[in-house]
Amino acid sequence: MTEAISTAGLTKFYGEHRGVIDVNLEIREGEVFGLLGPNGAGKTTCIRLFLDFIHPTSGSATILGLDSRADSVRIRQDTGYLPGEFVTYEKLTVLDLLTYFANLRGGNLGRAKTLADRFNLDLTRKIGELSRGNRQKVGLVQAFMSDPRLLILDEPTSALDPLLQQEFHRLVLEEAAAGKTLFISSHMLSEVEIICDRVGIIREGSLVTVEEVSALRERALTRVEIEFNDPVSPADFEALEGVTDVVVSDHRLTCSVTGSVDSLIKAAARHTVNRIESAQPGLEEVFLAYYSDETGKESSGAA
């Protein structure tokens, strides 16, 4: 199977400033890949390198089997791009803009019109008169309209309201089902969790880890709080597999569980349980755990 995106030691410095350092990524064709990281971590730098807006200081990127520098035009023929803040010719109407870009791509407006309908976008308005959300819809339509094999989306939903975000997520899942590759950068982990197969975490220009979303979720901690009818002993729970941070106060137990909660539930069932609460593990928690970990390592390493 070919790789949709593959980078080797991809590095970008803006003069003295760090963009990304030694990024090695393999993204399979047909995969939905999320690149996660806080602002300034290097997500946009990666994307601009893929699209040849900027050139690597060293290393290389191969997109759809082609070199990002030498074959950029052919790559862009098969790639749709949507930035977080879609900015384009304000004086054109939506229809004119889509017509222009469709012409540059040698395509037609068939799919654009379907997408515009779906996202409730008025084609007759001028871009300059649109709200930020509506402008982003235009960006979304132009990115998807040529039915490209690869979609590169940089924080695509940051300007969309929750309802549109959901519609966008459905669109992404449809595209994925149709075999498209999607590369999505985000700082919203809940979003990545819904739509991505794998996630890369980028921090201060370096790719920290790449994992299956399911694996990340498995590593996630579930916070559980159980209220018993009678006082319990911490010892009953501390030894359980995957259970940590056990705190018992009178007849109330709080703890963290990694992976399955089965052993905890079975142990608890030996007592009378009044109430049980668990906080759904979000990638946020995994992510923050990862970050605090790494920050810890780095500061101790630097010392």
Partner 1 sequence: MLRNVYLKTLRDSRKSILFYSIGVVALGLYVTLFYPTIRDATGFTDFLEDLPEVFQSIVGDAETYTTAEGFLNVEVFSFMGPMIVSIFAIIAGTSAIAGEEESHTLDQLLANPISRASILLQKAAGLLTGLLALSVALGIGLIAGSRIAGFDLAITGTIQAIASLYVLGATLGLLALSVGAATGRKGLAGGVAAGVGVVGFLLDTFLSVVEILEPARFVSVFYYFNSNDVILNGINAAHLATLIGITAVAVAVAVWRFEQRDVAV
Q: Write out the residues near partner 1 by the rule CB under 8 A.
A: 14, 44, 48, 51-55, 72-74, 76-77, 79, 81, 83, 86-89, 91, 96, 99-101, 103-106, 139, 142
* Structural tokens at position 87: 């900015």
Q: What is the three-class DSSP state of 242?
A: coil
CB of 106 to partner 1, least distance (A): 8
Our CB check for partner 1 shows the closer of 14 and 244 to be 14
- Minimum distance between the CB of residue 262 and partner 1, rounded to whole angstroms? 49
Q: How far apart are CA 100 and CA 107, in angstroms?
A: 10
**Closer Cβ to partner 1, 85 or 245, answer by number:** 85
Residue 82 CB, shortest distance to partner 1, in Å, is 9
What span, in angstroms and rounded, lies between the C-alpha atoms of 250 and 253? 8
When the beta carbons of 100 and 291 are compared against partner 1, the nearer one is 100
Query: CA 178, CA 288: separation in Å to the nearest integer?
Result: 33
Identify which of residues 153 and 160 has a Cβ nearer to partner 1 in the complex. 153
Residue 208: CB minimum distance to partner 1, A: 24
d(CA 280, CA 70): 47
Nearer to partner 1, 52 or 193 (CB): 52
Locus of tokens 């960006």: 139
Least separation in angstroms between CB 54 and partner 1: 4
Rounded Cα gap, residues 225 and 221, in angstroms: 13
Closer residue to partner 1 in complex, CB, 19/34: 19
Per DSSP, the three-state class of 249 is strand
Distance of CA 216 to CAs 85, 250, 252, 290, 295, Å? 29, 34, 29, 10, 19
Q: Is 154 left (phi over 0), alpha (psi -120 to 50) or beta?
A: beta
Least Å from the CB of residue 4 to partner 1: 17
